[in-house]
Amino acid sequence: MGTMAWLWLAVIASGLYHGINPGMGWPLAVSSGLMEKSPRALFGALGILAIGHLAATLLMLLPFALLVAVAEWRRPIQAAAALIVIGFGLFRVLNPRHPRALAKIPPTQLGFWSFAVAIAHGAGLMLVPIYLGLCQASDLDRSHPAASTLASANLGIALLVALVHVAAMIVAGGSLAWAVYRYLGVRFVSKSWFNLDKVWAISLVLVGGIALAFNLVDPM
């Protein structure tokens, strides 16, 4: 498999990973479905959670889409992005407590909650190094395109990365939510809830570390 395929696989894998993490909201969809006694409420909640997560992912990716359009900035920006992700991961390792502000978001604002949780946990940030890798891999197929062409190509990739990631997330989280709602019962909520805080933080450090390693050995 080429680099490109591996990177897309990483986009999907991170989506599945975010989806099964209760912290990203699938239990809320279960709760909505049960409270309203309707599967439609469950799917409605999933849709709103998806929009929030998509917005948070795009907010992280879009600035980088514009920055890496300037070819000579690419390497330092990739390195900086990797360092930011590592730094945020380390911050989460050292400060595992949840920001209290999240608890103040009312249950009626599910979309905003999903957005805020994704931002606070660095869910979108985790995708940045993968995304930058994809931008680079697709650049290599071209010969010296204009910065404007690159920028629009990068924006297209950003949108695609975010959509694929969120689709994977909703498939994973939605399947779990549906299984719990329809078959497993709410007992599964506490049974399945593992403390992923450390693992999550380490995932950030790993993603950033791998990206940084590639950046340093990159001959270009």
Partner 1 sequence: MTMRPDPTFHASPKLAMEAPPENFAYTLLLSPDFSKPDALAVIDVNKDSASYGQIVHTITMPNKGDEFHHFGWNACSSALSPLTGHAFVERRYLVIPGLRSSRIYIVDTKPDPTKARIHKIIEPEEVFKKTGYSRPHTIHCGPEGIYVSTLGGGGKDGTDGPPGVFIMDCETFEVLGRWEIDRGPQDKHYDFWWNLPRDYMVSSEWAVPPQFENGIVPEDLLSNKYGHRLHFWDLRERRHVQTLDLGANHQMALEVRPAHDPVREYGFVGVVVDTNNLEGSIWTWWREGGQFHVEKTATIPAEPAPKEKLPPLLQGFGAVPPLVTDIDLSMDDRFLYVSCWGTGEMRQYDVSEPRKPKLAGSVHIGGIARRTPHPNGKAVAGGPQMVEISRDGKRVYWTNSLYSTWDDQFYPDGVPGVEVMAKAGANGGLELASDYFVSFPDGYRAHQIRLEGGDCSTDSFCYPSV
Picking from 101, 77, 81, the residue whose alpha carbon sits closest to that of residue 89 is: 81
Residue type, 154: N
Q: Is residue 40 involved in binding partner 1 (CB under 8 A)? A: no
Q: Work out the end-to-end distance of the chain between its first and last CA atoms, rounded to an integer number of angstroms.
A: 21
Q: Is residue 105 involved in binding partner 1 (CB under 8 A)? A: yes
If the CB atoms of residues 64 and 200 are measured against partner 1, the closer one turns out to be: 200
Question: Which one of residues 195, 217, 219, 220 is an interface residue with partner 1 (CB under 8 A)?
Answer: 195
Site track for partner 1 across 75-104, x = CB under 8 A: ---------------------xxx-x-xxx
Site track for partner 1 across 10-29, x = CB under 8 A: ------------xx-xxxx-
What would the two tokens of residue 63 be?
């600035």
Q: How far apart are CA 204 and CA 144, in angstroms?
A: 32
- Between the alpha carbon of residue 22 and those of residues 50, 92, 172, 198, 199, the distances in Å are 14, 17, 11, 14, 14
Question: Which one of residues 94, 144, 148, 190 is an interface residue with partner 1 (CB under 8 A)?
Answer: 190
If the CB atoms of residues 27 and 89 are measured against partner 1, the closer one turns out to be: 27
Residues that bind partner 1 (CB under 8 A): 22-23, 25-28, 30-31, 34-35, 37, 96-98, 100, 102-108, 113, 117, 185-187, 189-190, 193-195, 197
